[in-house]
Amino acid sequence: MPSQIDWVAVDWGTSNLRAWALDSGGSVVESRSSPEGMGRLTREQYPGVLASLLSDLADPADVLICGMAGARQGWLEAPYLDAPADLTTLERAAVSPEMPGSRLAPRILPGVCQRDIGAEDVMRGEETQLLGLSALLPGFEGLVVMPGTHSKWARLSGTRLERFSTAMTGELFELLRTQSVLRHSFTGDLEGEDREVGFERGIELGIDRPERLTATLFKVRAGALLSDRSSAWCAGFMSGLLIGAEIGGQRDWVPGAGEVPLVGNVSLCALYQQAFARLGMQTRIVDATDATLAGLKAARQG
């Protein structure tokens, strides 16, 4: 006999929708995902997409959602909490979109914003991962780095988010790789063995000279033209430059000692781990999905 489903945890991001059905002990009974992220939905489509994703699940009424579904351009805006923020209050600030004719009672958690002039910033989804991290690493205080399309650097103190900053590293990499003049340097195999050599060179230059990024990026093209650098070398070099500049430019956030948690895609986090190692920093990789699920559970018990 299958376990009774108690509630459903949902991560509704820009490009993906993932759901986990949990029993009353917090164990995952079922999980599913769909590409119907915020980016391809109109407001009116959300109820139908959620109902369809969960249609074969027996009982669950309680659905707790984090991520972009709560954005202004999402399903229903869940106004930001202001940083510094106590993340145990996320659930209290959730909004409840209507699902006419459905048993489902969805609630969407808010994101967190930072309004200080000159440090304005926003997050949606990462606040839930940070709450999850505080549950996975009880009592942790310090810098958390969340590599991704929009990397977040956050100062966490237990369940309190002190401040944070976003770097557009992942998005810049994709734009430059596919849309810029540098794309001509990426026409071959990007995964060859000298990707690592290029990455090491890029990390070094990025960390040492983050202020030169708009100039060092052009070295990708010049290196391909003048030194016959392979596409793999160029991809590694550009990735290293961008990750290195993100870290080098925010060195004043990096603590002198202790372990920095890296929350994100595991293989991307491994690149950041390599970069932080150049600064003599220990890191610990936490899979983003684990952090999200832990965060949704912690929010519901908040």
Name the site residues for a second copy (rule: CB under 8 A): 72-73, 80, 113-115, 118, 120-122, 150, 165-169, 171-172, 175-176, 179-181, 184, 205, 209-215, 217-219, 221-223, 225-227, 242, 245-246, 248-250
Is residue 290 packed enough to be buried (19+ CB in 10 Å), middle (13-18) or exposed (0-12)? Answer: middle
At closest approach, how far in Å is the CB of 280 from a second copy? 19
Nearer to a second copy (CB atom), residue 64 or residue 154: 154
Structure tokens at 123: 């997050």
Q: What are residue 172's phi and psi, to 5 degrees?
A: -60, -45
Give min distance, CB of 163 to a second copy, in A: 12
The candidate with the shortest Cα–Cα distance to 169, out of 153, 186, 181, 185, is 153
- For residues 226 and 115, give the distance between their C-alpha atoms in angstroms, rounded to a whole number: 46
Least Å from the CB of residue 290 to a second copy: 26
Instruction: State the number of CA atoms in the 13 A half-sphere of 152 facing the CB.
Output: 26
Please report how close the Cβ of residue 106 comes to a second copy at its closest, in angstroms: 23
Sheet of 160-167: strand order equals: 85-86, 160-167, 151-157, 141-146, 259-264, 282-287
Place of tokens 């579904």: 69
Q: Using the minimum distance from each CB to a second copy, give the nearer residue, 32 or 212.
A: 212
- Distance set, CA 55 to CA 2, 30, 99, 199 (Å): 17, 13, 13, 46
Least distance to a second copy from the beta carbon of 286, Å?
A: 22
Measured from the CB atom, is 134 or 169 closer to a second copy? 169
The Cα–Cα gap between 259 and 159 comes to 18
Nearer to a second copy, 188 or 302 (CB): 188
Q: What are phi and psi of 218, to 5 degrees?
A: -65, -15
Tell me whether strands 282-287 and 259-264 are parallel, antiparallel or unpaired: parallel
Nearer to a second copy, 134 or 230 (CB): 230
Give the phi and the psi of residue 66 in degrees, each rounded to 5: -125, 160
Q: Cβ of residue 234: shortest distance to a second copy, in angstroms?
A: 12
Cβ neighbors of 46 (< 8 A, separation 6 or more) are 69, 74, 75, 97
3-state DSSP call for residue 114?
strand
Min separation Cβ 218 and a second copy, Å = 4
Q: In the complex with a second copy, which residue's Cβ is closer, 4 or 15?
A: 15
Q: Which is nearer to a second copy, 160 or 209 (CB)?
A: 209
Smallest gap from Cβ 158 to a second copy, in A, equals 25
In the complex with a second copy, the residue whose CB is nearer, 67 or 223, is 223
